[in-house]
């Protein structure tokens, strides 16, 4: 019906009264690097385990390469998995681990040895062939798990939080290597992660999940710049949010009444509920000690209360003057330290003006 | 503080355990000089007699064989039980574990006696067989049901040993299956292995420490069993335990009984050393 | 379309497999059927028959009025009680020793302590027989309950190492920082022990005591070899009765002993989960 390598159709999974996955439909194309992103307990791992066959959907269908997988046990599915704990068999050497999946399906010995050698070379473990897993580092064990899955030449490789057990430096390196590997072998990768940086840097497309639902499926850039709702905007990157009420609409123009910013005029093509939420990313806010001379910008005033220096940039919080009943509003602002004296230009306690273009502002429904 | 804590326990162990064992050990190198006196002469005669006399050698062999077969049967029966318990969650897991452990606390004599009542010619097993026999109308063809002689043979002793020691096998197996990271099984299935292959190539090797512990835990007491062969085996199916008992009671030949008893001790130490060795080798492999 | 062949079980849901459930069910049936029939037929109003002839408690009265059986029962309970008290104290002290101190040859000492647990019962039994027959005059001919002291001493010898193991495994879960915090707040060594460490180890001590009690009640082999001609204990009495025939009277007496041990065990389970016991 479609060219998707994996087609998830209206899949629901309930554990007792809990809906872990709620009517999810996703199509994943061949050779795509796809990420399932969400906080823990959002149902992303359950979804992955249903693709692998360790859990059966309560309702709905999963097609792999056009074939219904519902009654197919995991050992008969053309997908392979890299486990979060790697699950490298501790009683087998590196070589035996990689050969295992070929042996159990009766691959001829000669073919096994060439394929195993190739797979180990690909992940850079050919020197450690005879080592036992107990003698390997975490990163090396992960490579064994990768080689072991890839040697099966699966249609889809599933990766369950593959980088979570590695330290920060190794994680960054492996992110790069995994993308490289995916392009080399030309296999569809589906990765489950709770780390947005991982998803944004590696994936072609990302599905953001929350409470068993898919909130948005989009490319990384679109996810950041055009989040579908408040949850996605908040989950991916940092964001300042303002609740407001729509007071007027006409021809793609929207007037929103907010407590902090007053009346805001924005262009918005699409639906808007009466109650909306306006969002602005911290790096899109400009800051100035003097009143800026700009037309059509949204402006507000405040005082810097917190300051964190990160070298390349600085993060700060600005408490706005027009506080609401519930207290002052703190806005996060990021400035690039693009000159050496930028760090001295502003300090805690300074009164500042904030301003940004209404085009950088998003209208979000809840 | 150290001596306050150390002294009482050590004293008790030395006086009421190590000293008695030392006496038996010394006796095993002794000679019976009269009806009541024994002299420790350092002779190896008793050991030679134990392994050199065909009658005794035969009983030693038979004890080893029966214990080995019963141990194997225990393993076969206990593994699925342990396996199921470790996959069950919640209340049921607790209940099943209690059900496994409970027979431990029932007097060995009572359990053996219960089995006696089930196996005798007018017992429930024969009763059940007769009922099936008569229901199938076999009595009209072959005549009246002849009760099977289930007691006082090697079968009844083996069955008794399996019955009594099976729970000892379940616990170490359960502990090691429970500890087994289930993602190894998922990984094996994921790589294309069938359930059966996964069981024999992943589950069994990875729970080997539990299997070895279980085997040693039941094999040693089986080898030294006295009550079970005594009540269920009678004179036809004796084991070393019965011979030892006879030397210390009816025959009053302490040195020979002591030698037999210490052969059992040496076997025990051998088995424990083997387990320690295996554990030492395994630990290098664990992650 | 997929609905018709939907597998309700996951590949690792072994506990849902019918054949495995049946197998385990039959195993439990085999374990419990003999004991349960023993209990049921202690209420059967028939001496020899295995056919149900109506409910009666007369064999309980018979067992109760059987003087030597009653005496044996009281003796066994006495032995178990004394053995429990002494082995709980000894075992707890050994557990504290092994938990608190490092000393040369510690692992050898631990091995020796575990020896009573691993040595075949018959070896221990004959050792006790040889030992007490050599220590002349002890305790044969002493007045009750001191004529039971040989058996009691033997029971303590194989019970207190078990208590030590149970208490020590409880202590292994103790966070040493609690002790340091107590001292930091000004408590003395002695106060720290009674107010911080002991309350923590108490469930282990109680579980160990109950274990010692059941171990003593359950023992046959060691008691059989240690008991002299004038000391009658329950297992030895039942043994001599069983050798002649299977009688409802023995069933009744056994049922009482089973009931006692099961009650004690259930209390013990409240103090220590069986999972922990399985892991030792």
SS (H, E, C) C117-147: HHCCHHHHHHHHHHHHHHCCCCCCCCCCCHH
Q: What are phi and psi of A344, to 5 degrees?
A: -90, -10
Contacts of B103 in chain C (CB under 8 A): 31-32, 35
Query: Which residue of B183, B184, B192 is in closest CB contact with A152?
Result: B192
Contact A352, A318 (CB under 8 A): yes
Pairing of strands A156-160, A188-193: parallel
Chains with 3 or more CB pairs under 8 A to chain C: A, B
Structure tokens at A279: 């969002």
Distance in Å, alpha carbon of C1 to nearest chain B alpha carbon: 25
Beta bridge partners of A63: A7, A68
Beta bridge partners of A240: A280
The interface residues of chain A toward chain B in range 112-141, judged by CB-CB distance below 8 A, are 132-134
Pairing of strands A213-218, A205-210: antiparallel
**Which among A2, A6, A1 is positioned nearest to A62, based on CA atoms?**
A6
Residue whose structure tokens are 């979060």: A84
Is C5's Cβ below 8 Å from some Cβ in A?
yes
Q: What is the mean pLDDT of residues A70-84?
A: 91
Interface size B-C, in CB pairs within 8 Å, comes to 244
Same domain for A122 and A245?
A: no
Task: Look over chain B and give the mean of its residue pLDDT values, rounded to a whole number.
Answer: 86
- Which residue on chain A is closest to B186 by alpha carbon? A54
Instruction: List helix spans (H) across chain B.
Output: 2-13, 19-27, 45-52, 54-87, 91-101, 108-119, 124-135, 138-142, 154-179, 183-190, 195-198, 204-206, 208-223, 227-228, 240-248, 254-283
Dist CA C108 CA A334 (whole Å): 65
Contacts of B163 in chain C (CB under 8 A): 30-31, 34
Contact C246, B117 (CB under 8 A): yes
Q: What are phi and psi of A348, to 5 degrees?
A: -60, 135
Dist CA B88 CA C257 (whole Å): 32
What number of helices (H) and strands (E) belong to chain C? 13, 0
pLDDT of residue C5: 42
Query: Which residue of B17, B96, B116 is in closest CB contact with C246?
Result: B116
Q: Which residue has the higher pLDDT, B95 or B147?
A: B95
Same domain for A214 and A150?
A: yes
Distance in Å, alpha carbon of C93 to nearest chain B alpha carbon: 5
3-state secondary structure of A208: strand
Q: pLDDT band for position C280 (50/70/90)?
A: very low
Contact C58, C251 (CB under 8 A): no
Same domain for A81 and A185?
A: yes
pLDDT of residue B260: 92
Contacts of A54 in chain C (CB under 8 A): 10-12
Distance in Å, alpha carbon of C279 to nearest chain A alpha carbon: 22
Contact A79, A158 (CB under 8 A): yes
The interface residues of chain C toward chain A in range 10-49, judged by CB-CB distance below 8 A, are 10-12
CB within 8 A of A97, min separation 6: which ones? Answer: A88, A89, A133, A144, A148
Among the three residues A206, A233, A260, which one is the final residue of a domain in this structure? A233
Is B21's Cβ below 8 Å from some Cβ in C?
yes
Structure tokens at A299: 């402006």
Number of domains within chain A: 2
**C109 falls within a domain:** yes
Number of domains within chain C: 1
Same domain for A258 and A271?
A: yes
Q: What is the mean pLDDT of residues B11-20?
A: 92
Task: Tell me: cis bond preceding B82? Omega within 30 of 0 counts.
Answer: no
**Which among B221, B263, B251 is positioned nearest to B59, based on CA atoms?**
B263
Contact A120, A131 (CB under 8 A): no
Please answer yes or no on whether C123 and B80 come within 8 Å at the CB atom. no
**C12 falls within a domain:** no
Please answer yes or no on whether A87 and B181 come within 8 Å at the CB atom. yes
**A1 falls within a domain:** no
Structure tokens at A357: 């273009």
Q: pLDDT band for position C63 (50/70/90)?
A: confident
Please answer yes or no on whether C10 and A73 come within 8 Å at the CB atom. no
**C231 falls within a domain:** yes
Same domain for A344 and A272?
A: yes
Beta bridge partners of A216: A208
**B179 falls within a domain:** yes
**C42 falls within a domain:** no
Q: What are phi and psi of B264, to 5 degrees?
A: -65, -40
Q: For A161, left (φ over 0), alpha (ψ -120 to 50), or beta?
A: left
Residue B113, pLDDT > 60, answer yes
pLDDT of residue C139: 60
Q: What are phi and psi of A42, to 5 degrees?
A: -85, -10
3-state secondary structure of B209: helix
Domain that holds residue C260: 65-279
- Which residue on chain A is closest to B283 by alpha carbon? A134
Distance in Å, alpha carbon of C4 to nearest chain B alpha carbon: 23
**Which among C7, C70, C14, A297 is positioned nearest to B185, based on CA atoms?**
C14
The per-residue pLDDT for range A327-344, each reduced to its tens digit, is: 568 889 998 888 888 778
Beta bridge partners of A365: A229
CB within 8 A of A89, min separation 6: which ones? Answer: A96, A97, A100, A133, B184, B187, B188, B202, B206
pLDDT of residue C138: 62
**Which among B254, B267, B173 is positioned nearest to C119, based on CA atoms?**
B267
Same domain for A242 and A212?
A: no
DSSP assignment, residue A74?
G
Q: pLDDT band for position A45 (50/70/90)?
A: very high
Structure tokens at A198: 């991982």
**Which among C110, C113, C92 is positioned nearest to C171, based on CA atoms?**
C92
pLDDT of residue C3: 40
Is A87's Cβ below 8 Å from some Cβ in B?
yes
Interface size A-B, in CB pairs within 8 Å, comes to 74
Dist CA C144 CA A326 (whole Å): 83
Please answer yes or no on whether A100 and B184 come within 8 Å at the CB atom. no
Dist CA A26 CA A38 (whole Å): 15
**Which among B146, B121, B122, B115 is positioned nearest to B133, based on CA atoms?**
B146
Please answer yes or no on whether C157 and B13 come within 8 Å at the CB atom. yes
**Which among B282, B175, B158, B278 is positioned nearest to B218, based on CA atoms?**
B158
The interface residues of chain C toward chain B in range 6-65, judged by CB-CB distance below 8 A, are 11-15, 20-21, 23-24, 27-28, 30-35, 37-38, 41, 48, 50
Contacts of C17 in chain A (CB under 8 A): none
Domain that holds residue A28: 6-233
- Which residue on chain C is closest to B74 by alpha carbon? C27
Same domain for A159 and A269?
A: no
Q: What are phi and psi of B168, to 5 degrees?
A: -65, -30
Q: What is the CATH number of the domain that holds C187?
A: 1.10.3720.10
Same domain for A227 and A280?
A: no
3-state secondary structure of A34: strand
Same domain for A94 and A229?
A: yes
Query: Which residue of C7, C10, C12 is in closest CB contact with A71?
Result: C7
Q: What are phi and psi of B59, to 5 degrees?
A: -65, -40
Q: pLDDT band for position B282 (50/70/90)?
A: low
Is C97's Cβ below 8 Å from some Cβ in B?
yes
- Which residue on chain C is closest to A58 by alpha carbon? C8
CB within 8 A of A238, min separation 6: which ones? Answer: A281, A282, A332, A334
Is B169's Cβ below 8 Å from some Cβ in C?
no
Task: Tell me: cis bond preceding C139? Omega within 30 of 0 counts.
Answer: yes
Each residue of B227-250: b (16+ CB within 10 Å) or e? Answer: bbbbbbbeeebbbbbbbbbbbbee
Dist CA A201 CA B134 (whole Å): 78
Q: What angle do CA A284, A288, A290 make, to 5 degrees?
A: 150
Q: pLDDT band for position B207 (50/70/90)?
A: very high
Residue whose structure tokens are 């303002």: A242
Dist CA A246 CA A278 (whole Å): 11
Same domain for A153 and A184?
A: yes
Task: Look over chain A and give the mean of its residue pLDDT values, rounded to a whole number.
Answer: 89
Is C120's Cβ below 8 Å from some Cβ in A?
no
Residue whose structure tokens are 């899955």: A149
- Which residue on chain A is closest to B287 by alpha carbon? A134
Contact B149, B232 (CB under 8 A): no
The per-residue pLDDT for range C24-41, each reduced to its tens digit, is: 999 999 899 888 888 888
Residue whose structure tokens are 């059989």: C224
Dist CA B158 CA B66 (whole Å): 6
Q: What is the CATH number of the domain that holds A58?
A: 3.40.50.300
Please answer yes or no on whether A75 and B286 come within 8 Å at the CB atom. no
The per-residue pLDDT for range A108-127, each reduced to its tens digit, is: 999 999 999 999 999 989 89
Please answer yes or no on whether B224 and C91 come within 8 Å at the CB atom. no
- Which residue on chain C is closest to B255 by alpha carbon? C130
**C19 falls within a domain:** no
Contacts of B162 in chain C (CB under 8 A): none
Dist CA B107 CA C237 (whole Å): 13
Dist CA C168 CA A267 (whole Å): 72
Which of B75-84, B227-236, B243-252 has the highest average model confidence (pLDDT)? B75-84
3-state secondary structure of B36: coil
CB within 8 A of A345, min separation 6: which ones? Answer: none
Number of domains within chain B: 1
Same domain for A154 and A271?
A: no
Q: pLDDT band for position B259 (50/70/90)?
A: very high
The interface residues of chain C toward chain B in range 104-143, judged by CB-CB distance below 8 A, are 112-113, 115-116, 118-131, 134
The per-residue pLDDT for range C110-166, each reduced to its tens digit, is: 888 988 988 998 999 999 998 888 775 566 666 667 778 889 999 999 999 999 998
pLDDT of residue C8: 61
Residue B181, pLDDT > 50, answer yes
Task: Report the percent of chain B where pLDDT is more than 70.
Answer: 97
Same domain for A169 and A130?
A: yes
**B208 falls within a domain:** yes
Domain that holds residue B253: 61-122+150-283
Q: What is the CATH number of the domain that holds B112?
A: 1.10.3720.10
Contacts of C1 in chain A (CB under 8 A): 68
The per-residue pLDDT for range B115-162, each reduced to its tens digit, is: 887 887 777 787 788 888 888 877 778 777 777 777 888 889 999 999
**B30 falls within a domain:** no
Dist CA C248 CA C50 (whole Å): 10
Dist CA A228 CA A213 (whole Å): 13
The interface residues of chain B toward chain C in range 90-119, judged by CB-CB distance below 8 A, are 94, 96-103, 105-111, 113-118
* ipTM above 0.90 for this complex: no
Contacts of B227 in chain C (CB under 8 A): 220-221, 239
Q: What is the CATH number of the domain that holds A303?
A: 2.40.50.100
**Which among A192, A193, A117, A191 is positioned nearest to A151, based on CA atoms?**
A117
- The sheet carrying A330-336 orders its strands as A286-288, A351-356, A298-309, A313-320, A330-336
Q: pLDDT band for position C271 (50/70/90)?
A: low
CB within 8 A of B40, min separation 6: which ones? Answer: B26, B27, B29, B30
Q: pLDDT band for position B204 (50/70/90)?
A: very high
Q: pLDDT band for position B78 (50/70/90)?
A: very high
Query: Which residue of B193, B205, B287 is in closest CB contact with A104?
Result: B193
Q: What are phi and psi of C228, to 5 degrees?
A: -85, 180
Residue A299 burial class via C-beta count within 10 angstroms: exposed 0-12, middle 13-18, buried 19 and up: middle
The per-residue pLDDT for range A57-76, each reduced to its tens digit, is: 999 999 999 899 888 899 99
- The string of DSSP letters for B222-234 reads HHT--HHIIIIIT
CA A47, A49, A50, A51: dihedral to nearest 10 degrees?
90
**A222 falls within a domain:** yes
Q: Which residue has the higher pLDDT, A163 or B236?
A: A163
Please answer yes or no on whether C1 and A73 come within 8 Å at the CB atom. no
- Which residue on chain C is closest to A50 by alpha carbon? C10
Query: Which residue of A73, A85, A104 is in closest CB contact with B191?
Result: A104
3-state secondary structure of A164: coil
- Using an 8 Å CB-CB cutoff, list residues of chain B that contact chain A: 181, 183-184, 186-195, 197, 201-202, 205-206, 284-287
Is A259's Cβ below 8 Å from some Cβ in B?
no
Dist CA B68 CA B61 (whole Å): 10
């Amino acid at each position: 019906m479609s060219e998707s390598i994996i087609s998830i159709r209206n899949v629901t999974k309930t554990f007792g009264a809990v809906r872990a996955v709620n009517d999810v439909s996703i199509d994943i194309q061949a050779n795509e690097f796809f990420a399932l992103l969400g906080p823990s307990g959002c149902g992303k791992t359950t979804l992955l385990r249903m693709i692998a066959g360790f859990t059966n959907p309560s309702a709905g269908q999963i097609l792999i390469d056009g074939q219904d997988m519902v009654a197919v046990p995991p050992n008969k599915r053309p997908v392979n998995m890299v486990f979060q704990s790697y699950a490298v068999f501790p009683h087998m050497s590196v070589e035996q681990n990689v050969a295992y999946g070929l042996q159990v399906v009766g691959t001829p010995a000669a073919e096994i040895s060439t394929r195993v050698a190739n797979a180990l070379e690909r992940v850079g473990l050919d020197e450690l062939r005879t080592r036992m897993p107990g003698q390997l580092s975490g990163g090396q064990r992960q490579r064994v798990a990768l080689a072991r899955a890839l040697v099966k030449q699966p249609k889809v490789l599933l990766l369950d939080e593959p980088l979570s057990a590695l330290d920060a430096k190794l994680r960054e390196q492996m992110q790069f290597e995994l993308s490289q590997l995916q392009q080399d072998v030309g296999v569809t990768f589906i990765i489950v992660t709770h780390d947005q940086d991982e998803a944004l840097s590696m994936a072609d497309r990302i599905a953001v999940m929350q409470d068993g639902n898919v909130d948005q499926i989009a490319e990384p850039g679109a996810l950041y710049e055009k989040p579908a709702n408040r949850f996605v905007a908040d989950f991916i990157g940092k964001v300042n949010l303002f609740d407001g009420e729509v007071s007027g609409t006409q021809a793609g123009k929207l007037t929103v009444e907010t407590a902090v910013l007053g009346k805001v005029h924005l262009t918005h093509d699409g639906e808007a509920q009466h109650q909306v939420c306006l969002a602005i990313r911290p790096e899109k806010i400009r800051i100035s000690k003097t009143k800026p001379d700009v037309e059509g910008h949204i402006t507000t005033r405040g005082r810097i209360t917190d300051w964190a220096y990160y070298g390349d940039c600085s993060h700060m919080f600005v408490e706005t003057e027009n506080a609401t009943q519930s207290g002052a509003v703190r806005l996060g602002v990021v400035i690039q330290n693009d000159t050496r004296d930028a760090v001295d230009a502003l300090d805690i306690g300074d009164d500042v003006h904030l301003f940004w273009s209404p085009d950088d502002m998003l209208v979000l429904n809840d | 503080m150290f001596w306050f804590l150390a002294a009482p326990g050590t004293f008790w162990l030395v006086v009421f355990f190590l000293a008695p064992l030392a006496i038996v050990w010394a006796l095993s190198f002794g000679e019976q000089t009269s009806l009541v006196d024994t002299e420790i002469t350092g002779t190896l005669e008793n050991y030679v007699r134990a392994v050199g006399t065909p009658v005794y050698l035969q009983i030693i062999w038979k004890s080893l064989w029966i214990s080995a077969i019963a141990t194997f049967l225990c393993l076969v029966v206990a593994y699925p039980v342990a396996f199921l318990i470790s996959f069950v969650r919640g209340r049921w897991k607790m209940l099943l574990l209690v059900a496994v452990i409970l027979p431990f606390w029932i007097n060995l004599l009572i359990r053996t006696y219960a089995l006696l009542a089930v196996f005798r010619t007018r017992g429930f097993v024969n009763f059940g067989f007769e009922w099936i026999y008569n229901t199938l109308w076999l009595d009209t063809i072959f005549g009246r049901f002849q009760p099977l002689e289930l007691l006082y043979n090697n079968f009844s002793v083996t069955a008794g040993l399996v019955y009594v020691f099976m729970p000892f096998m379940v616990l170490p197996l359960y502990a090691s299956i429970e500890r087994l990271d289930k993602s190894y099984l998922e990984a094996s299935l994921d790589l294309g292995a069938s359930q059966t292959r996964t069981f024999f190539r992943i589950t069994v090797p990875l729970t080997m420490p539990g299997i070895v512990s279980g085997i040693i835990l039941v094999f040693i007491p089986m080898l030294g069993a006295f009550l079970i062969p005594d009540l269920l085996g009678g004179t036809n199916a004796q084991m070393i335990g019965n011979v030892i008992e006879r030397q210390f009671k009816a025959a009053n030949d302490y040195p020979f009984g002591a030698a037999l008893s210490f052969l059992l001790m040496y076997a025990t130490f051998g088995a424990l050393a083997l387990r320690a060795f295996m554990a030492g080798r395994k630990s290098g492999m664990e992650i | 379309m997929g609905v018709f062949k939907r597998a309700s079980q996951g590949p690792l849901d072994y506990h849902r497999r019918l054949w495995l459930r049946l197998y385990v069910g039959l195993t439990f049936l085999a374990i419990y059927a003999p004991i349960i029939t023993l209990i049921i037929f202690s209420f059967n109003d028939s001496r020899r028959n295995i056919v149900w002839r109506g409910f009666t408690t007369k064999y309980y009265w018979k067992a109760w009025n059987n003087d030597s059986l009653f005496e044996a029962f009281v003796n066994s309970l006495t032995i178990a009680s004394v053995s429990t008290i002494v082995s709980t104290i000894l075992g707890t002290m050994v557990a504290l020793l092994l938990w608190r101190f490092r000393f040369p040859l510690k692992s050898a000492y631990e091995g020796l302590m575990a020896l009573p647990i691993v040595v075949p019962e018959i070896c221990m039994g004959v050792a006790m027989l040889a030992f007490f027959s050599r220590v002349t005059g002890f305790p044969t001919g002493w007045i009750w309950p001191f004529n039971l002291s040989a058996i009691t001493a033997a029971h303590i010898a194989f019970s207190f190492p078990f208590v030590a193991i149970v208490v020590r495994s409880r202590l292994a879960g103790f966070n040493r920082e609690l002790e340091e915090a107590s001292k930091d707040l000004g408590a003395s060594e002695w106060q720290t022990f009674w107010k911080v460490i002991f309350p923590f180890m108490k469930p282990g001590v109680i579980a160990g005591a109950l274990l010692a009690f059941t171990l003593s009640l359950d023992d046959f082999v060691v008691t059989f070899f240690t008991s002299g001609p004038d000391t009658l204990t329950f297992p030895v009495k039942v043994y001599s009765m069983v050798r002649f025939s299977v009688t409802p009277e023995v069933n009744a007496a056994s049922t009482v002993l089973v009931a006692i041990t099961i009650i004690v065990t259930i209390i013990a389970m409240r103090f220590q989960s069986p999972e922990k016991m399985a892991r030792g």
